[in-house]
Each structure stands twice: as structure tokens, then as C-alpha cells.
Amino acid sequence: MKRFFLGALFLLLVALGITAWLGLREDNTDATANTPANTADFVARGAYLARAGNCMGCHTARGGAEYAGGRAIQTPFGAIPAPNITPDRDTGIGSWSADDFWRALHNGKSKDGKLLYPAFPYPNYTRVTRADSDAMYAYFRTVAPVRQENREPELRFPFNHRVLLVGWRALYFRPGVHEDEPKQNAQWNRGAYLVQGLGHCSACHAPRNFLGATTGEENLSGAMIPMLNWYAASLSGDRGAGLGSWEVQHSVDLLKTGGSARGAASGPMAEVVRGSLQYLEEKDVRAMAVYLKSLPQNGETEASAPPRSTPQTEQFLRTGAELYEKHCVECHKADGRGEPPAYPALAGNRALTLASPVNPIRAVLHGGYPPSTQGNSQPYGMPPFSALLNDEEIAAVVSYVRNSWGNQGALVSGGQVNNYRAVTLD
């Protein structure tokens, strides 16, 4: 018996040692800092990359100073305020070196070695090259310093114990710079670099497990963003729920301007387009679109089977049709084809036929607002109907558009609508 316990203890110590090694190890690939030949160009490049990574989206609180932090990133485990990344020496990153900045992006560790919570998407940013990291660092050194103290995360037990990140990292994080796929061309590889790395598209569009880890950077099969109550649609090349039936130009238009012949960006995606993607060079946006269209289907669950025909169902859909005729037909037309890009088509619209009806419910309740961008400075918006229609009426009209013009989807209930009536996007 003693031998058994000693053996079990030995195995436990080995397991803990392996976990500690995997969770704490650092990859020093490309660890040598780059010395720019032209500082102005280097800083400009860093500013562009910071836009590509949408750093301001998290590190700038509403109404606050740029990059001074304070915006709370809501997670299923609690709130994590984004830190101050201005060059203030006491509360920001003014005392950080280029090596420290690289360590954060590439290895997910702060200057003092503290493990960073993956609300900061270092599992994606680890793919960023050292040259791009140094350019971003050079840019952040030029930002106006702001003295603003950082707040500690407000996480529930046991996630408030940072030491547990060692185990999480051992399971789900492997540092490593992006490597080009030799079988693909330069455009595809550039798109993969941006989507998987700075763009961190998987942060929203990839499913997550119960510990908050994504299931793979290429599995952009769509996922619910729980704290935002929004569904991030599939970005795979699947012709059903993904981008397989879209032309590359459709995706380019959506990413660059917020609107295209196949749909419009709204909700959290509108914020990404407004704050980040509209500023990217057209060739980079096109590279992202080419890469996304090439992704295989990864099993996104589409809408359930259409409702069984019963007198009650038929009456419910007739009510929806009457409401559509009264409130929607002027913009979206009787045949559901709309007038893209101003008024998106509902016929064949993949956002309507997903298993989760949350996006169309929220669009009808609270309105749909594409971003104002350089390529579409005055976009048309959809007005909210929450004050005009009750829960059952909104359920009826959403059910109708989910089952018209070739669309097929399960009926929506008044209870589902009510779940989102008081929920708005932060």
C-alpha cells in the first residue's frame, strides 16, 4: 500500500511539473528587437497595425482618453478591465521595453512576469511577428501619456486566483509566430496572418468550451457571444451558413464599409468595422476575404427543421405576414429581396436561418445600425420596434421572415423575444 501511495505521489508531482512547464514556458522566437531605418515610417506602420488589432476597442473606455484603459471586458467568469497602455510610466506602459511588449503579445505575460488573462487575446496575438510587435510598440510610445490607475479584475471564485492560469495555459495555449503555408499564395497567407493574429476573429466567431478556450483558430463556424447576447455568424467557406456562396467582393465590401450586396454589419461587428477594419488597406481586407472563403465547413448548427403545418402555425405566420406588410415591406420588399446595400435582402439571408434567432430578434426590438465608414458615411438604419410591437407580434414577424422566400427556420416564441427586450448592446 505504501508503495502504491508513493507511486501515485510521484505521478502527481510529474503531472504538476509538466503542467507548470507548459503553463509557464516562454517561446523566444524572433526575440531580437528591430531597429527601424526610418522611425516615422515605423511608427506609422505601428499605428496601422494597432488599428488592425482594434486595440482601441478594448483599451479605450466610452468617453475616456485613448488607450487609457478602464473598459470592462465582460466574460462568463466576471469583468476584466482593460489596462492603461499609454506611455505613462506609473500607470501605463511607459517603463516597458520593446522586449516587455513582445512578451505580452507573444507569451501572454506582463513586464513583471504576471500571467495575463486571455480576455487579452494573446492566444491570437502570439502569431504576430517581432517586427510588427516592435512597430506597434514604437507607435504606443508616441501616444499621449495618461495617468489613470488600472483596476483589478472582478472575477468570481475560483477564477479570481491567477495561479489557475498555469493550468489553462498548459491545456490551451502554445506560443508561436505565424508561419506561411507553402502550398498557398502570398495573398492567402497574408489573410491567414491577419485573421488568425491581429484580427483575432476567433475571439468571437469560434465556439468556446466551459473554460473559455476556443476550439481552434480555423474553426470560425460561429458562436454565441454570451455576455453580449449576440451570435457571431460563421465565417467558414460553407455555402449554407458560411461565406461559401458569397463573392470575395461581397466580403470585402462588408469588412471595409459595413455593407454589401449580401448583408450589413450590425451589433458588435459594426463596432469592429467602424473602429478597425475600415482603416485597413483594400489589399489586406481582400486577403482576409480570400482566406475566409477558403475555410472548410466546421459544423455550425443551422436552423432547426421548419415548423410543422398546423392551423395554429398557419395563423401565427399569417399574423407575421400582416405585420411584415405593415412595417417592413417598404424597405425589404414583398419578395424579401430588399434594395442592397441600403436595405439588406431577407430572402436567403443566413443571419435569419441560424439555430439561434437572437440577432433578428434584437434587430427588430432595438433596430439595426450599420457603422458610418469612409466608404458609407451615411448608412441607412433600421428603426426599433420595441415600443410599437409586443413580444408575440415580434415573434410572429421574425418567424415569418425565417420561413419565407425559401428561408426555413423554427418558430420564435414571445418568451424568446422577452429575454432580449431589456438587453441592449454596450
Task: Residue 251: give its domain's CATH number.
Answer: 1.10.760
For residues 40 and 145, state if they share a domain.
yes
Q: How far apart are CA 393 and CA 323, in angstroms?
A: 8
Q: Determine the pLDDT at residue 127.
A: 95
For residues 130 and 195, state if they share a domain.
no
Rounded to two decimals, what is the model's pTM? 0.89
What is the grid cell recorded at 164? Answer: 489557475
pLDDT in tens, the chain (426 residues): 666 555 655 555 555 565 554 555 677 766 677 767 679 999 999 999 999 999 999 999 999 999 999 999 999 999 999 999 999 999 999 999 999 999 999 999 999 999 999 999 999 999 999 999 999 999 999 999 999 999 999 999 999 999 999 889 999 998 999 999 999 999 999 999 999 999 999 999 998 999 888 876 678 888 888 778 888 888 887 766 677 788 899 999 999 999 888 888 888 998 999 999 999 999 999 999 999 999 887 655 555 677 888 889 999 999 999 999 999 999 999 999 998 888 888 998 888 888 889 999 999 999 988 888 888 888 888 899 999 999 999 999 999 999 999 898 889 999 999 998 886 655
Contact 362, 267 (CB under 8 A): yes
**What's phi and psi for 214, nearest 5 deg?**
-75, 160
DSSP state of 373: B
In a domain, 286, yes or no: yes
Q: Determine the pLDDT at residue 252.
A: 94
32: containing domain: 26-172
Q: Determine the pLDDT at residue 304.
A: 61
For residues 30 and 142, state if they share a domain.
yes
In a domain, 299, yes or no: no
For residues 72 and 124, state if they share a domain.
yes
Percent helix, strand, coil in the chain (nearest 5)? 40, 10, 50
In a domain, 11, yes or no: no
Contact 140, 93 (CB under 8 A): yes
In a domain, 10, yes or no: no
CB atoms within 10 A of CB 172: 16
Of 239, 264, 294, which closes a domain? 294
For residues 34 and 154, state if they share a domain.
yes
For residues 274 and 211, state if they share a domain.
yes
For residues 66 and 157, state if they share a domain.
yes
Q: Is 363 helix (H, G, I), strand (E, B) or coil?
A: helix
Q: How far apart are CA 52 and CA 62, in angstroms?
A: 20
In a domain, 97, yes or no: yes
For residues 272 and 325, state if they share a domain.
no
For residues 33 and 167, state if they share a domain.
yes
DSSP string, 293-346: HHPPP----B--PPPPP-HHHHHHHHHHHHHHHHHTHHHH-TTS--BTTTB---
Long-range interactions of 117-121: CB distance < 8 A, separation 24+: 117/80, 117/153, 117/162, 117/165, 118/168, 118/173, 118/212, 118/213, 119/73, 119/75, 119/80, 120/58, 120/82, 121/200, 121/203
Contacts of 27 (CB under 8 A, 6+ apart): 106, 107, 126, 175, 176
In a domain, 1, yes or no: no
Of 172, 204, 230, which closes a domain? 172
For residues 213 and 166, state if they share a domain.
no
Contact 237, 298 (CB under 8 A): no
Q: Determine the pLDDT at residue 8.
A: 58
For residues 138 and 100, state if they share a domain.
yes
Of 237, 262, 294, which closes a domain? 294
For residues 31 and 158, state if they share a domain.
yes
Number of domains in the chain: 3
In a domain, 302, yes or no: no
What CATH number did the domain enclosing 355 receive? Answer: 1.10.760.10
Residue 155 host element (H or E): strand 154-155
Grid cell 424568446 in the structure block, residue: 416
In a domain, 229, yes or no: yes
